[in-house]
Amino acid sequence: MKPVAARLLSRFESVVWGVHEQPLPAWKARGLRIVRTALILGRDLAGGQLTLRAMSLVYTTLLSIVPLLALSFSVLKAFGVYNQIQPVLLNFLAPLGAKGEDITRKIVQFIENMNVGVLGAVGVGLLVYTAISLMQKIEESLNYIWHIGQPRRLGERFSRYLSVLMVGPILVFSALGITATVMNIETVRDLLAIGALGQMVQAISRLTPYLLVIAAFTFVYLFIPNTRVRFGPALIGGAIGGIVWQTAGWAFALFVASSNKYTAIYASLAILVMFMIWLYLSWLILLFGASVAFYAQHPEYLYARSGEPRLSNRMRERLALSVMSLVAGRFLAGARMPSPAEFTRLLGVPMHALQTVLDALEQRQLVIQSTDDPPLYLPARDPSLISVTQVLDTVRAAGEERYFSPEGLPAPQPVDAVLERMRQAVESSVGDMTLRELAAQDTEPAMRGPVAAPGA
């Protein structure tokens, strides 16, 4: 049986991850992409990073939930809708059953007992910091999923977080209030009395919890990561995450209803244990939906092996020359300069692999970034003053200043002689070619083929 299973597994991997000589029909390519995405999502969950970050968010939530709701409570109180917090909490904790009602009542009691005037300036500052720390943790987790190593600037983070904490609850509860008001209008109630229309509204009302969760997840995926997320992928991730969250709530409610033995073991702590488990599942589902959105926007990350791919020397050389040729070609044609996302689309490589080459070229002052958001890449000087040999030497020497250098690594004389002959061979063949000449010989559509996508 083992040889048969091995052959089947090898055949499956060949079909899913193998290189296809001919372009696949659209429906097959779409189905193959869905299968690859499902496999990669399963691998990410099994890898443990999503679960670790979900547990970290649970810990932060336990510390910040009361300050977070207290800030929202203070804003909502000014608009006279603070009494809506309890129904929303009850809806979120509905899978916990009667335990959810107890937790909601205690949280609301904590909020009502919190007197900001007694805290003083330091206390208010700690209150705001504790609430903002949860938003910061969420951004760090989503940035990890989106392979973004650089967080937002402090001022931008502060303004975004406060806007979510202050304005978000007002918009949510205003929408709920408007909906309730419209449903109570006499004309609307008369229309709902019509059989078919009333049934349709009932069907929509059953779907409303799903739509609200999907909208909330989509908003988080659009607003929180420190990158430009397209609406389509964010909606896909929000839809899958929202449906999974609602389904998980139903399943968790059944689990809680049949968990009397846990109450016997943990006694009064059973409420806290169930609350922490539900928080963990909620954050894990949110991060899972973010992964779906990421792979929907960046299919070039769908490669078979786990971990970050590392470029070989010849891949770095090929990628660097392709990047410089594209930059010089756009510059000479007076066209819009490429952004990192456009490099990724044209060359078919993941952003983190591309970024190592872009950083090396920028460090040697061959390219520079503009101040646009996202930044655009321009040649640092006239392309006729940049040689192909300079580009090759740049990516070959990348990282030497942090680790070893050829001068500090002794080698036998025959080895030095061979390396010198290789250097002379390269110079004799392309030593006189400039970046302007290289760009003049290439056209942009031809760049789609040379570098294969990692998932191919």
Residue predicted with more confidence, 408 or 318: 318
Q: Which amino acid would we find at residue 348?
A: G
The predicted-structure confidence for 302-358, as pLDDT tens digits, reads as follows 776 655 567 788 888 889 999 999 999 889 888 889 888 788 878 877 777 788 888
Q: What is the mean pLDDT of residues 218-244?
A: 90
Please count the other Cβ atoms lying within 10 Å of the Cβ belonging to residue 56: 14
Among the residue ranges 63-77, 176-190, 282-296, the one predicted with the least confidence is: 176-190
Contact 423, 270 (CB under 8 A): no
Quote the pLDDT of residue 133. 80
Q: What is the DSSP letter of 335?
A: P
Helix (H) and strand (E) counts in the chain = 18, 2
- For residues 68 and 129, is the Cβ–Cβ distance under 8 A? no
- Structure confidence at residue 286 (pLDDT): 92
Given a cut of 60, whether residue 454 has pLDDT beyond it is: no
Question: Does the pLDDT at position 89 exceed 60?
Answer: yes
In whole numbers, what is the pLDDT of the chain averaged over residues? 76
Helix (H) or strand (E) segment spanning residue 367: strand 367-369
Single out the residue of 177, 181, 159, 179 nearest to residue 169, CA to CA: 177
**pLDDT band (50, 70, 90) for residue 171:** low
**Which pLDDT belongs to residue 66?**
72
Beta strand 377-379 pairing with 367-369: antiparallel
Instruction: For residues 101 and 156, give the distance between their C-alpha atoms in angstroms, rounded to a whole number.
Output: 37
Quickly state the pLDDT bin for 234 (edges 50, 70, 90): very high
Count CB atoms within 10 A of the CB of residue 325.
23
- For residue 184, pLDDT over 60 is answered with no
Task: Select the more confidently predicted residue: 278 or 163.
Answer: 278
pLDDT value for 449: 44
400 neighbors 406 (Cβ within 8 angstroms): yes
Residue 66 burial class via C-beta count within 10 angstroms: exposed 0-12, middle 13-18, buried 19 and up: buried
Whether 144 contacts 53, CB under 8 Å: yes
Q: Which long-range contacts (CB under 8 A, 24 or more apart) does 114-117 make?
A: 114/66, 114/70, 116/70, 116/74
| Domain residue ranges in the chain | 49-297, 313-448
Q: Write down the pLDDT at residue 284.
A: 94
Closest CA to 57 of 179, 293, 224, 176: 224
pLDDT of residue 227: 83
Query: Average of pLDDT values for 406-416?
Result: 77
Burial of 177 (0-12, 13-18, 19+ CB in 10 A): middle
Contact 108, 121 (CB under 8 A): no
pLDDT at 250 over 70: yes
| pLDDT range class, residue 235, cuts 50, 70, 90 | very high
Q: Report the chain's C-alpha Rg in angstroms.
A: 28
Burial class (CB in 10 A: 0-12, 13-18, 19+), 269: exposed
Exposed, middle or buried, 171 (CB in 10 Å: 0-12/13-18/19+)?
Answer: exposed
Cα dihedral sign, 356-360-366-367: positive
Q: Which of 244-258, 315-329, 393-407 has the lowest mean pLDDT?
A: 393-407
| Residues 287/53, Cβ–Cβ less than 8 Å | yes
Mean pLDDT on 410-431? 82
| pLDDT at residue 238, as a whole number | 92
Q: CA 259, 264, 266, 270 torsion: positive or negative?
A: positive
* The pLDDT of residue 195 is above 90: no
Q: How far apart are CA 421 and CA 314, in angstroms?
A: 18
263 vs 266: CA distance, rounded Å: 5
CA atoms in the 13 A half-sphere facing the CB of 218: 17
How many angstroms from the chain centroid is the CA of residue 230?
A: 11
Amino acid type, 413:
Q
**Which architecture, in CATH terms, is 313-448?**
Orthogonal Bundle (1.10)
Kindly tell me if the per-residue pLDDT of 79 is higher than 70.
no
Q: What is the predicted pLDDT for the residue at 394? A: 87
pTM of the model: 0.71
Top mean pLDDT of 146-155, 255-264, 267-276, 430-439 is at: 430-439
pLDDT of residue 240: 93
Supply the pLDDT for residue 104. 78
Return the ∠ at Cα 110 (arms to 108 and 114), rounded to 5°.
115
